[in-house]
Amino acid sequence: MESRKSVPLPHPAEDVTEHVGYRLKRAAAALRGAMDKALREHGLTVPQYSCLELLDQRPGLSNAELARSTFVTRQSMNVVLRGLQDADLISRPATTDHGRALPAHLTAQGRERLDAARSAVYAIETTMIDALSPRRLAALLADLDRMAEALDG
């Protein structure tokens, strides 16, 4: 049996469950599971909900912009947008005068669905952050930003 090479740990940890990456993934998985369950009651997936939120804040975003902002591929966003359009939650022109980007906009029905789903998602986030003091939450958000920036290069 071949022994594994010893590699220095990035920080003291008894096992993999004490690594930062593991804890981040565990928190993300718990959040995703809670959101999946809540959004199912509103007939939405997490990527669809994220797309509606972004379009509410920034109407007219393109497929590529929405894909980058929701952390999915452009191909996956095409599927998300098609589903939202088929459900009459967003509208997009069939063609555009310039370039290939088709700007998306919420429909009245999309805004209603978003408003209903938003309260469920915000309740989940409130439950999650109520475990922290406001000072700790501000520090956590700043730390998460710094960690992402360190990896983004």
Q: What is the signed CA dihedral for 104, 108, 113, 119, rounded to 10 degrees?
A: 100
How much is the pTM? 0.84
pLDDT of residue 81: 95
The domains of the chain, with CATH numbers, are: 20-93+101-152 (1.10.10.10)
Per-residue pLDDT reduced to its tens digit, 108-119: 999 999 999 999
Which residues of the chain register pLDDT less than 70? Answer: 1-5, 96-100
Q: How far apart are the first and last CA of the chain?
A: 39
